[in-house]
Structures are given as structure tokens and as C-alpha cells.
A and B are shown apart, each in its own frame.
Chain A
Amino acid sequence: MKGNQLYLDGVTVMFDGFRALNNLSIIVEPGEMRAVIGPNGAGKTTMMDVITGKTRPTKGTVRFGDHDLTRMDEAAIANLGIGRKFQKPTVFDALTVFENLELALKAPRGPFACLRWALGGAARSRIEQVQDEIGLTARAGDRAAILSHGQRQWLEIGMLLMQDPQLLLVDEPVAGMTDQETEHTAALLRRIAGERSVVVVEHDLEFVRALGQKVTVLHEGTMLSEGAIDHVQNDPRVIEVYLGR
């Protein structure tokens, strides 16, 4: 299957006169993994909000293949195959690990379909497979509320996998993680990337280096630099933004 290209052109988002995104253009090819870095407030999360329909751009084009994402709501965009992991891990605390994954599993989403839903063998083994991939098999029956911070992040990544998206948006997956958890997460992301496009937002440069992918640097809502990690790290404008203060 040929995936879709993510295409942002001239995207501007204004909040009360403040430009959170300023004429931002980014293209992510099918199957590509892209790291987006930038200081706090650079507009990284806002960029994801625009792609997933949470925020409407004031100006600009946002397309996924032939689909104009500025005209669709969150659920429609999700069903198009764009999955998102939030900066603050959001899993459903009252549900078990297994139930969280089950909700994310690709299946009819309407209320009546959910009412009649019966967990089949194929669905169960798919859930168990992902549970294994994110290392939470032993916690399957535990409620998400009692997981550690790192485990919650992995559960959320697992929920993304269940959706089987074409494009994965991952916002600061290693914030607050121990070094060991960070390594584990980088390995997990590399492994699941496969045929999907992945956009990882992070401001931890070591983590981005560990991913070893093309990097886009965002600053004050615009693209500052783009290329391999060594290239952007030696870019004088990047050095100025990161080190010049």
C-alpha cells in the first residue's frame, strides 16, 4: 500500500494576535520518520494540533494525500489513519491495559457497533501482540492509573499501534523518563516505524540522535533548519537559538 504524504504549506496559527505558527511549511513523505526539535514554545505541539484537527489554522494548507485536514474533525482525521500521542500521557485510568488497547483497536466506532462488539480471537491476539511489544503483558489486567510514568507512555504508544495508523505523531515521548526508559522508547519507536510515517517531537537532542533520522528545527513558529542531526547541530542559526541565551 502506498501511504499518503503529509503536506503543510504556509501554515499560520494566531492566538490573540500571537503567532504560534508562522508560515510553516513541512513535507513528510510516506514511510519517513522525522524528528522535530525546538525550544519550549516553538510551536511543536501546535503543529500537531493543526494536523489532528484540534486547532484550525488561521492561514495555510494542511493536506494528507488528497484530504484537506483543515475541513475535518478529530475523529474523521483519526479514522483517516493519523494517530497521535500526546505530550502529557493520556490513557484511560479507569480501564485496564488490555481495555485501553481494545478501545484503540481498529473496529467500527459507532455506539451500536460498540454495544454489540464481541472480542474475537483475532482481535485478542492482536491486542496481546501489542501488549507484548510495549512490554506490558504482565500488567494486562491492571488499571492504567497504577502504571508508572514510563509505562503509561508505552501504553499510549501501544494504543497508537492498535489504530494501525499510516502517520504517527508522537509528542515528547521521553519527557520525564529515566535514561533507560528513554533508550527503550527510542528502540520501540524505531521498531514500529516500519512502513508508517512518524513525526516525533522532542527537545532532547540526545534522543533525536538516537533515532538517527532527518531533523526539522522549529523556532518561533517557523522552520529554522532542516537536515541530518550533524548538519543542524552545526547550523549557526540553530546554535544561536539553542546556545545563544
Chain B
Amino acid sequence: MSATLADPAPSRLRLGLRAATIAVVIALAAMPLLNRLPVDSAFHVSDFLVSITGKWICYAILALAIDLAWGYAGLLSLGHGAFFALGGYAIGMHLMRLIGPRGSYGHPVLPDFMVFLGYTELPFFWWGFQSFPYALFMALFIPGLLAGIVGFLAFRSRITGVYFSIITQAMTYALMLAFFRNDMGLGGNNGFTDFKELLGQPLNTALARSSLFYAALLSLVGVYFLCAYITRSKLGRVLIAIRDAESRVRFLGYSVTQAKLFVFVLSGMIAGLAGALYVPLVGIINPGEFAPTNSIEAVIWVAVGGRGTLIGAALGAFSVNAIKTWLTSVAPDLWLFALGGLFVAVTLLLPRGLLGLVRKGDR
């Protein structure tokens, strides 16, 4: 018999996993509809549950981005929260411009915080953000550009492992400090909020909320297939090879720098998309999103779910956040300890995460 390639005959476990995944996606898709049922119906899903699930879907997209870089190419970024936040800020700028004269100061163009700070005209980097396609483009382009610059400098100098992690962590920390400053022209520590509308729809309606939910869900499915396409291609195998024996890959004639740059830029853009979907859903973006702990938490989701498996990354984002939501309501002080404990437990007991329990044959 000739050799198998990346796609071995699916085992029963794999098929079961696939079926479970499809069932979960269908259940998620049903949530906004079930939300319309009368409140006393047994199948009614509360507003709270729909809105928090929408957030988790965005987190799952961020987890896929991290998994692509870390689980496959071995690039442990502790700064992906920055790409997420930048994507969120880009859409936030669009939402701010759409407020128009409805702000407290009633200025036709300038957002409230600019009027308050004495701006007389729109700073140049705000130009164009009244256009949705432009803002969406920037939500992908700016994170991709940042990932490209940081990645190029790091990969070209062959900075790997923990040094790379520290650089990415420093990146998000520096951006957090910068975004806290009022003179950045991006709302300082209050960030952006009080959004009114998007694509001609008022944001406070049920229709807008479910549309945003479906946009996030469709993006999650799309990003999953994109990541699956990459990881199943020969490039995916090159990335795994880089993760496990980087210098050997060089001696085979591959440019490790190019391969890493490709995956890191793409990963940054996916994280930016996640942030862009997140901000209209939650109605606020501020520099707190750049906090280093956010990035670390996101890495823990992936570790818990199972790095190097795409489904695992998404699963980790949902399950850790479900625990977080529950725990912060019953014992808020315990959350950080629980998160740390979870990470240690997973590292020691389940090095391949929750999905490692199911998928033994994976790499």
C-alpha cells in the first residue's frame, strides 16, 4: 500500500468529534432565534447568554489565530491581545465617526473626546474611517503590518522561544501605555463607547445584535476552514517541521524567516478580525484590551483546549471563558488563582489539552 498523507482515514473518534463540532455550530446558530421565544418558554435563551456567547465566539477566533502561530509554527506570542485590540480600535474609530452630531457636544464631525480636548479638526489618521470597508480593511491591515514588522525584526535575527514571547509581551505593554495617553488622539483611557449605529442599523436593536452574532459565527467557521486549509497543506507540514527542528528546515533549503513571517502576519490579521467583530458586540473598546494579562489568558485557552488542534483552540476559548464567567460571579477573587491553577494542571496532566484526550494520533 502506498503512503498515507496528512489525511489518514478518519477514525470513529474523529468522526464523532466532527459530528459534535457540527452540532455545536448548529446550536450556536440557533441561539439568537431561541432568544426570540417568549421568556417563559423552556427553550428561551436569555439576552445575557446570547451576548456573552457572541463574545466567546470572538475569543474562539482569537484562539485559532494563536494556535496557528503557536500550535503549528511554535511561535508563542504573548502579545496577540494587541492585534485583537488594534482590530477593535479600527472598527471603534468607524463607530465613533458614525455618531456624528449625536454626541454630547453635538459637533458634526469630531467625537466628544476630541471636542473636550480642544481639537479643532480631525487628525489625519482618522481620515477615511467614516467608510466601513476602509475601517474593516484597516482592522486587518494594521495588525498585519505590526505583526510583519515585529516578526521581520525577530525572525531575521533568529530570535526564538522565550525571547520572542518576551518581545511580543513588551509590544502589547508598550501599546497599552501609548493608548492610555490622551495625545494619541484615540480617546485616552476612556477609549471609545456610546456607539449609535453600524451599516445604517441602530446598534441597540435585537436585529443588530443577532446580525453581529451571526457575523462572528460565520467568521469563526470561515477562519476555521482557512486555518485547516493551511495546516493541511505542505506549508502546514513545513510549519510543524520548523516548530520541532528549525535549523534542520534551513538545511533543507527553506526560508524559515519567510514561513514564520507568513504565518505570524496572517495570525495577527485573524486576531484583528476577532477584535473588529468583538467591539460592536460589547459596545466599548479601551486601552485595557492591550493589558498583557489578556494575551496570556488567550494563550491559556489554547493550552487548555489543545494546541496544535484547531478544534481544541476554539474549545479552549469557550470552556475557559465559561468557567471564568461562572467563577467571577460566585467568587471573583478566585479567578486569577483558578486560571493559574488550570494552566499548571493542564501543562502537567494534559500536555495536549482537552482534545489530547480524544485525538491521540495528532501531532
- Chain A residues near B (Cβ < 8 Å): 52, 54, 73-75, 78-79, 83-84, 86, 90-99, 102-104, 109-112, 114-117, 119, 124, 127-128, 131, 140-141, 143, 159, 163
Contacts and interface: CB of A to CB of B under 8 A. Distances in A.
Contacts of B8: 141
Contact of B241 (A75, A84, A92): A92
Nearest to A83: B251
Interface string B259-294: 100110000000000000000000000000000000
Contacts of B251: 52, 74-75, 78, 83-84
The 9 closest A-B pairs by CB, nearest first: A98-B3, A94-B363, A140-B3, A78-B253, A114-B235, A74-B250, A111-B262, A117-B234, A141-B4
A79 B253 contact: yes
Given A78-B253, A163-B252, 20 more contacts: A52-B251, A74-B251, A75-B253, A83-B251, A91-B248, A94-B240, A94-B243, A95-B241, A98-B3, A98-B4, A98-B5, A102-B234, A103-B238, A103-B241, A110-B255, A111-B259, A115-B230, A117-B235, A127-B3, A159-B252
A62 B250 CA distance: 19
Given A109-B254, A111-B262, A128 B241 contact: no
A75 B248 contact: no
B237 A95 contact: yes
B244 interface: yes
Nearest to A93: B244
18 contacts: A75-B250, A75-B255, A78-B250, A78-B252, A90-B245, A92-B240, A94-B240, A95-B241, A99-B5, A103-B241, A109-B253, A109-B254, A115-B235, A124-B2, A127-B3, A128-B2, A141-B3, A163-B252
B325 interface: no
B6 to A, nearest CB: 7
A55 B243 CA distance: 22
B247 interface: yes
Contacts of A124: 2
B46 interface: no
Contact of B233 (A90, A92, A117): A117
A110 B240 CA distance: 15
Interface in B210-263: 230, 233-235, 237-238, 240-241, 243-245, 247-256, 258-259, 262-263
A162 to B, nearest CB: 9
A143 B5 CA distance: 11
A99 B248 CA distance: 15
Contact of B252 (A96, A104, A110, A116): A104
A141 B6 CA distance: 9
A114 B233 contact: yes
Contacts of B234: 102-103, 114-115, 117
A99 B6 contact: yes
A2 B16 CA distance: 57
Contacts of A91: 245, 248
Contacts of A159: 252
B330 to A, nearest CB: 41
A78 B256 CA distance: 13
A86 B248 contact: yes
Interface string B313-327: 000000000000000
Contacts of A93: 244
A182 B298 CA distance: 50
Contacts of A92: 237, 240-241, 244-245, 248
B240 to A, nearest CB: 5
Nearest to A92: B241
A128 to B, nearest CB: 7
Contact of A103 (B247, B252, B256, B363): B252
Contacts of B244: 92-94
Contacts of B243: 94
Nearest to A162: B252
Contacts of B6: 99
A99 B2 CA distance: 12
Contacts of A97: 3
A94 B308 CA distance: 11
Nearest to B241: A92
B247 A74 contact: yes
A93 B4 CA distance: 16
Contacts of A98: 3-5
A99 B240 CA distance: 11
A109 B247 CA distance: 15
B241 A111 contact: no
A83 B252 CA distance: 7
A41 B205 CA distance: 75
A146 to B, nearest CB: 11
Contacts of A99: 5-6, 237
B318 to A, nearest CB: 26
A63 B252 CA distance: 19
A116 B240 CA distance: 17
Nearest to B229: A115
B235 to A, nearest CB: 4
A73 B230 CA distance: 27
Nearest to A144: B244
Nearest to B361: A143
Contacts of A96: 3-4
